[in-house]
Structure 1
Amino acid sequence: MATLLILGASGDLTGRLLLPGLARLVRHGRATGLHLVGAGYDAWTAEQWSERVAHSFAAALEAADDAGQSALNLLRTTSEYRRVDVTAPGELAQLTTTLPGPTAVYFALPPAIAEQACELLSPGDLPAGTRLVMEKPFGTDQASAFRLNETLTQLVPEDHIHRVDHFLGKATVLNILGLRFANRLLEPVWNNLHIDRVEVVYDEALALESRAGYYDGAGALRDMIQSHLLHAMAILAMESPVSLHERDLRDGVGAVLRASSVDPDFARSTRRARYTAGTIDGKDIPDYAAEDGVDPSRRTETLAEITVSINNARWSGVPFILRSGKALGGSRKEALVTFKPVSHLPTGFSGQDSPTQLRIGFGPETLKLEIDVNGPGDIFALDRAVLEVELNASELLPYGEVLEGVLTGDPTLSVRGDTAEDCWRIVDPVLDAWATNEVALEEYPAGSSGPAAWTDPAS
């Protein structure tokens, strides 16, 4: 791309994630000849924008070699800020026609504003080669996701639409694919004959942290499971792709999601909870319902869990348990694959015969294989051994990986339109059931492991 246009340039997403990600990309020589334009409703001066770029580039600049510093300084000094109201007819279209093309338009805006801006555009308003970059959520349900996709594909081709899921960084995706498909040890047993269950978990100690404006209208199910965790599940469960080309990979992800559903007995297949006052690392955390900006009547969950069935020959009968929560006692970000017990354990062994488990960490990227071995002392007593290795991380930040795909025209890390709709199809019935209180909203103290009644299959 010749130009990266960031709409919402004065917002938190731009300063905290987008610009540092771009800086790391430039530092490593993987984004050259780029013109950076920030745009927003705020009447920022050129100096304000320059200060923001300089602050966001500082860490990369300090770590860069001479060539990297030169590239970063050039991008910073040639960058510019434009004031624009994307909800005013014609303003965004007029801006895009004045920029060196092709242009990537990054909507670092609230989803409703981004959608409104796109609805005001017509196909003739965007120069050839324009790419549109959208932040999640992609719609608010399956029907709205379908309407949004119709709007976007009338403006540019599907492969020029980047629906950002930074959770699926290239290193994370390729580490899972390499583990699965490059090892004969695992691929033959990666099915319902040998695997008992799969859990994809993203639990964090972080509480609301002044994000009520977004989070209280979303909740844990929409925020994490509907997008990030369903896609991670699909990569874990997909059939072997022909190649690592984006079409083959995204076809595989789409096939898994089309086969996925949640049992309509939602009181058994789903759980939800909300944190109350507690303590995390010595810091007092207020009751979620008492947090600034929270509407308690919404009954927003801060911990969600659903059990997904993948209805195909490989995975029939294997529960995929997706869970994400905030204000918990510890951080747990991993996929856990639990294998079935051996068909016969010879008589004479003592100790606990525990199932083999494979843990794939999402941050930091780690791999742990937990197996039974002969214990010390009494060699007939079984003991637990853990084989652990750190997986290779990317040299880029997650948003740097996203931006590299945008700038090079590679949508591998982008959510395709049909899969965005399928993710909503899977969770819409759950959200409807929760809205009518078919499933109780339980509580847990901040800093705990969750509601006392919940049992963790991994424990």
Structure 2
Amino acid sequence: MTEQSATFLLFGATGDLARRMIFPSLYNLLSDGLLPDDFLIVASGRTEMEDDAFREQVCTSLREFLPGDRYDAQTAEKLKAMIAYQPVDAGNAAQFAALAERIDGRAERGLSVYLSTPPSLFAPTAQGLAAAGLIDGNTRIAMEKPIGKDLASSKEVNDAIGALFAEEQIFRVDHYLGKETVQNLLALRFGNVMFEPLWNATAIDHVQITVGETVGLEGRVSYYDGVGALRDMVQNHMLQILSIIAMEPPARMDPTAVRDEKVKVLRSLRPMNGETVKTHSVRGQYTPGAVGGQIVTGYADELGHASGTETFVALKAHIDNWRWQGVPFYLRTGKRMPARQSEIQIQFKPVRHSIFGRNGGGSGLEPNTLIIRLQPEEYIRLTIMSKRPGLERQVHLEEVSLDVSLTAAFAGQRRRIAYERLILDLLAGDPTLFVRRDEVEAQWTWIDSIIEGWQEANMKPASYASGNWGPSSAIALIERDGASWHD
């Protein structure tokens, strides 16, 4: 399965993800000449629609979601000519048979199936494809998260798909892995000699990972309530980032070596229980407030009733292995935060002995910090100590920053949608940036321990006003250890 797939079959083609991300990504890949010749996109949804009507919907989406300087009518027309629409409802054998007719004669040249549907439709859709004769050694299948809602349901989904596809044919999507800055973590750690010798408990005091969103439910009411921030963000995006930060150096840059090291980290996460969740976790739910100068309602008001679902979570995690023993990893994510922000902070330990600030004089000496910003802007910033200019006999130190703006450093390069990388790798059959089954199940094992701990401790979400960084208990979580969140 090394040839690039010539056919891309998209289920959930009328959904929001397809409109905002998948079709603009396909357009950009086509514009850059990265799609194979005679490429066919078969779009599928439950709505009955003719090809031309759907193609016009795609063009409308491109004009809406592509930057103005990227949209080109000629390229859009070329993409339209590649698209066919076939209505399919999971469980409707006749519609799957009609779908197979649209793809007839092309399957041997590779078929990539993308499931942008609710997880409950993953297995029925795959079974419909199998019954229609559309699954063979040249078929790959990609699934959007979530893969289940706990370990047991995750295994059910994986078993159902695994009964029809070999593991190397299954591509579990976490779009954070398609982000350039997340991939750059690998380059930062393993492509530079100065970081890896310090990347351990000897030199690092703690690590912070923050993913803040300014939005509320944003039309996701039916999905989000009962799921919450822990399952929606920590189980996938944040644990994937943590695993890349904490992994051992892989022997080589290939899918097996990289994912083997990531899963070792995930299996080393210390489980929580009814006692440790009280000191190592915080649950929160936003109430009315102001975000970006705009008055917004609370979660319960948006939902229409009271709920015990958390919209914010902060965690203190420990990785029980040789490299990270004793180094806390602080994770926090939430909705209705003051800023849309995803970043990693590596806090180094202070120098072992300071030669500055003797005789009672203050030196201003601070530990070094490495900030890796993932969004909205992308940069890497290292704070170091420097002597303040002057003739004073006492040396005064001040923090200065070494900044690398990835946007500025690669100013000639277009900032790509994460899905461009993932779709291209799916078509090529490269699973490096996709999540393996054992990774998913290791993630759920740790998350389930927290959920069970919350239930045992009867731990309810604390309120926080929209526009704040969560409940005050989230500040206490980290300040008890003599640290503070980087806001």
What range describes the TM-score normalised by the shorter chain of this pair? over 0.9
Are the equivalent residues in 2 in contact too, given 1:339–1:356 (CA < 8 A)? yes
Q: Which residue of 1 aligns with 2:384?
A: 371
Which deviations, in whole Å up to 9, do the C-alpha atoms of 1:20-64 show, x marking residues without a partner? 111111111111321011111111232330112212334669646
Which deviations, in whole Å up to 9, do the C-alpha atoms of 1:389-423 show, x marking residues without a partner? 11257743111111111111111111101101111
Q: What residue identity is the alignment partner of 1:387?
A: L
Q: Which residue of 2 aligns with 1:11?
A: 15
Are the equivalent residues in 1 in contact too, given 2:179–2:417 (CA < 8 A)? no
Q: Which residue of 1 aligns with 2:90?
A: 86
2:323 is paired with a residue whose SS is coil
1:106 to 114, 123, 133: 114
* Matching of residues 29-428 of structure 1 within 5 Å: 29-33=33-37, 34-58=39-63, 63=69, 72-89=76-93, 91-92=95-96, 95-96=99-100, 98-99=102-103, 100-101=106-107, 102-118=110-126, 122=130, 126-169=135-178, 171-264=180-273, 265-291=276-302, 293=303, 295-297=305-307, 299-346=308-355, 347-348=357-358, 350-363=362-375, 364-377=377-390, 378=392, 380-391=395-406, 392=410, 395-428=415-448
1:355 is paired with a residue whose SS is coil
Which deviations, in whole Å up to 9, do the C-alpha atoms of 1:230-280 show, x marking residues without a partner? 010000111111221112111111111121224431111111101100011
Are the equivalent residues in 2 in contact too, given 1:90–1:121 (CA < 8 A)? no
Quote the offset at 1:75 in angstroms.
Answer: 2.7
Corresponding position: 1:458 with 2:485: yes
Which deviations, in whole Å up to 9, do the C-alpha atoms of 1:51-103 show, x marking residues without a partner? 122123346696469xx875543231231111111133564366246412221
**Which has the higher mean CA deviation after the structures are superposed, 360-369 or 221-230?**
360-369
Q: What residue identity is the alignment partner of 2:282?
A: R
Are the equivalent residues in 2 in contact too, given 1:26–1:72 (CA < 8 A)? no
CA distance in 2, matches of 1:41, 1:425: 35
Which deviations, in whole Å up to 9, do the C-alpha atoms of 1:313-358 show, x marking residues without a partner? 1111111112111101123310110011111112425144322110
Quote the offset at 1:432 in angstroms.
Answer: 2.1
Are the equivalent residues in 2 in contact too, given 1:93–1:126 (CA < 8 A)? no
Quote the offset at 1:3 in angstroms.
Answer: 1.0
CA distance in 1, matches of 2:414, 2:461: 39
Q: What residue identity is the alignment partner of 1:275?
A: Y
Q: Which residue of 1 aligns with 2:481?
A: none
The alpha-carbon distance between structure 1 residues 90 and 429, as it changes in their structure 2 partners (threshold 3 A), is farther
**Which has the higher mean CA deviation after the structures are superposed, 113-122 or 8-17?**
113-122
Q: Percent identity?
A: 34
Q: What residue identity is the alignment partner of 2:41?
A: L
Quote the offset at 1:376 in angstroms.
Answer: 4.3
Quote the offset at 1:440 in angstroms.
Answer: 3.8
The alpha-carbon distance between structure 1 residues 61 and 352, as it changes in their structure 2 partners (threshold 3 A), is closer
The alpha-carbon distance between structure 1 residues 314 and 97, as it changes in their structure 2 partners (threshold 3 A), is farther
Q: What residue identity is the alignment partner of 2:463?
A: E
Q: Which residue of 1 aligns with 2:451?
A: 431
**Which has the higher mean CA deviation after the structures are superposed, 368-377 or 186-195?**
368-377
The alpha-carbon distance between structure 1 residues 42 and 247, as it changes in their structure 2 partners (threshold 3 A), is same
1:83 is paired with a residue whose SS is coil
1:228 is paired with a residue whose SS is helix
CA distance in 1, matches of 2:474, 2:331: 14
TM-score (norm 2): 0.87
Which deviations, in whole Å up to 9, do the C-alpha atoms of 1:152-178 show, x marking residues without a partner? 122111111111111112522331111
Are the equivalent residues in 1 in contact too, given 2:182–2:374 (CA < 8 A)? no
Quote the offset at 1:120 in angstroms.
Answer: 5.3
* Count of aligned residue pairs for this structure pair: 455
CA distance in 2, matches of 1:219, 1:64: 36
Are the equivalent residues in 1 in contact too, given 2:247–2:262 (CA < 8 A)? yes
Are the equivalent residues in 2 in contact too, given 1:23–1:72 (CA < 8 A)? yes
CA distance in 2, matches of 1:203, 1:309: 22
1:296 is paired with a residue whose SS is coil
Are the equivalent residues in 1 in contact too, given 2:282–2:473 (CA < 8 A)? no
Quote the offset at 1:300 in angstroms.
Answer: 0.8
Are the equivalent residues in 2 in contact too, given 1:338–1:356 (CA < 8 A)? yes
1:367 is paired with a residue whose SS is strand
CA distance in 1, matches of 2:320, 2:9: 42
Q: Structure 1 regions of 5+ residues with no counterpart?
A: none
CA distance in 2, matches of 1:271, 1:454: 6
CA distance in 1, matches of 2:137, 2:48: 29
Are the equivalent residues in 2 in contact too, given 1:46–1:80 (CA < 8 A)? yes
What value does the CA root-mean-square deviation take over the aligned residues?
2.3
CA distance in 2, matches of 1:192, 1:148: 37
Q: Which residue of 2 aligns with 1:2?
A: 6
CA distance in 2, matches of 1:300, 1:93: 42
